[in-house]
Amino acid sequence: MLVSATEMLKKAKAGHYAVGQFNINNLEWTKAVLLTAQACNSPVILGVSEGAGKYMGGYKAIVGMVNGMLEGLSITVPVALHLDHGSYDGCMACIEAGFSSIMFDGSHYPIEENVEKTKELVKIVKAKNMSIEAEVGSIGGEEDGVIGKGEVADPKECKLVADLGIDFLAAGIGNIHGKYPDNWEGLSFEALDAIQKETGDMPLVLHGGTGIPEDQIKKAIDLGVAKINVNTECQLTFTAATRKYFEAGKDLEGKGFDPRKVLAPGSQAIQDTVKEKMELFGSVGKA
């Protein structure tokens, strides 16, 4: 059964480790993440962007697939199904569809509007035992080939949003989605420290988990990060493994064109990446 992410992240923050959010894009991705979480005895969060939601045939299709896999693959570790960077309407659709967690990304609104919309969603979500993540300080990333610098959140605004009844908070600390540019200055630990001091027990979320050096990941966990999002790295390893399969001409051998065979190396690559991250984040054995 899907669970909200509230308890797993409270435990993570108290225990000084982080739970991974791995974004899913299809059936293979989902299965690979679930099997790895079970093998590692780790709690896990499956992230779904609005784009991936559309691609997979809608939020209800995803809920059906994930619930079916929990049963069919005998998954017993805590699993949350979470909307990543949701709009207000996207959040409402996922609440309706049976997700167990949502992120409302109101970071592009003026703070007053972010607060109002977050408050409304908190009320709805709490009545359904779901969890909700809010965001302050937008997280940069690549758009049209230009990599935007990650914004650093204002600790006072973080405190304001943390007090709205949300379960975990994404605060920009110079992190960005996708690959980091060569001249990236690294995470702002000064900001993270100030945000954690203002927000106390609130589990903090680090987006853009791909490509952050291991020592910075560990330091971020020490300073209160309890959830780390990874998407691009799974895409990169999946694509590299699939390319290798074709370059070796495997599709030309025997029944090598069978989709189950074509997608197997990529699926294994995702499992390897997820396991590596769970070990780094310290969530192995914490289910």
Q: Collapsing DSSP states into helix, strand and coil, what is residue 228?
A: strand
Tell whether residue 25 is a contact of ligand 13P (CB under 6 A).
no
Contact pick of 101, 118, 131, 231 for ligand 13P (by CB under 6 A):
231
**Contact assessment for residue 2 and residue 81, using Cβ atoms and an 8 Å cutoff:** yes
CA 160 to chain centre: 23
Question: Per DSSP, what are the bridge partners of residue 243?
Answer: none
- By rule CB under 6 A, what string of x and - marks binding of each residue 92-111 to ligand 13P? --------------------
Contact pick of 13, 82, 207, 277 for ligand 13P (by CB under 6 A):
207
* Shortest Å, Cβ 231 to ligand 13P: 3
Stretch that binds ligand 13P, among 11-19, 231-239, 248-256, 269-277 (CB under 6 A): 231-239
Question: Per DSSP, what are the bridge partners of residue 23?
Answer: 47
Stretch that binds ligand 13P, among 105-113, 143-151, 226-234, 249-257 (CB under 6 A): 226-234
Reading the block at residue 111, the tokens are 């703070």
Catalytic residue, chosen from 84, 105, 154, 167, is 84
Stretch that binds ligand 13P, among 104-112, 115-123, 228-236, 245-253 (CB under 6 A): 228-236
Distance CA 161, CA 138 (A): 14
Q: Collapsing DSSP states into helix, strand and coil, what is residue 165?
A: coil
* Region 138-177 residues binding ligand 13P, contact defined as CB under 6 A: 177
Question: Per DSSP, what are the bridge partners of residue 84?
Answer: 49
Q: Where are the beta strands (DSSP E) in the chain?
A: 19-23, 44-49, 79-86, 101-104, 131-136, 142-143, 146-147, 168-171, 204-206, 225-230
Q: Which is nearer to ligand 13P, 83 or 245 (CB)?
A: 83
* Shortest Å, Cβ 31 to ligand 13P: 20
β-strand pairing of 101-104 with 19-23: unpaired
* Region 63-82 residues binding ligand 13P, contact defined as CB under 6 A: none
Distance CA 26, CA 103 (A): 20
Stretch that binds ligand 13P, among 125-133, 148-156, 161-169, 205-213 (CB under 6 A): 205-213
Contact pick of 165, 178, 181, 256 for ligand 13P (by CB under 6 A):
178
For 90, 95, 166, the CA distances from 4, given in Å and listed in that order, are: 17, 12, 12
Tell me, yes or no, if 84 is annotated catalytic.
yes
Is residue 267 classed exposed, middle or buried when 0-12, 13-18 and 19+ CB atoms within 10 A define those classes? buried
Tell whether residue 84 is a contact of ligand 13P (CB under 6 A).
yes
Distance CA 107, CA 115 (A): 10
What kind and span of H or E run contains 108?
A: none
Tell whether residue 230 is a contact of ligand 13P (CB under 6 A).
yes
Tell whether residue 30 is a contact of ligand 13P (CB under 6 A).
no
Q: Which is nearer to ligand 13P, 108 or 197 (CB)?
A: 108
Question: What residues are annotated to the active site?
Answer: 84
Interface ranges with ligand 13P (CB under 6 A): 23, 47, 84-85, 177-178, 207-210, 229-233
